[in-house]
Amino acid sequence: MSHPTFVLLYVDSPARSEKFYTKLLGTPAIESSPTFALFALQPGLMLGLWQRDGVEPAASAPAGGNELAFAVENNEAVLATDPDGHRLRVFAPAK
């Protein structure tokens, strides 16, 4: 069986979200248009930001209905949100 290669977040403003994720990830989008932005997270995994209004079939998840988690080495946990309310969790994995 294949494995997931994309995480898609439905956003209100791809340009605003692209700017936010460019700063957060420290890398520019590898593809960008008025309705979509794409980031390479690591080999074989991409983050897509797709304008909610143009998705077919229509997205049923509410704004902020998703969460991205980032593992770090220290034991401080942080929870924040992106411009569309998607939760961003920073955590240290159990050792």
The structural domains of the chain, with segments of one domain joined by +, span: 6-91
* Residue 19, phi then psi, degrees to nearest 5: -60, -45
CATH T-level topology, domain 6-91: 2,3-Dihydroxybiphenyl 1,2-Dioxygenase; domain 1 (3.10.180)
For the residues 51-66, what does the mean pLDDT come to?
A: 79
54 versus 27: the higher-pLDDT residue is: 27
Checking if the pLDDT of 73 tops 70, the result is yes
Q: What's the predicted TM-score (pTM) here? A: 0.80
> Over the stretch 6-32, which tens digit does the pLDDT of each residue have?
889 999 999 999 999 999 999 999 999
Tally of residues, the chain: 95
Mean pLDDT is highest, among 25-34, 41-50, 75-84, for 25-34
Residue 3 structure tokens:
């494995």
* pLDDT (0 to 100) of residue 1: 56
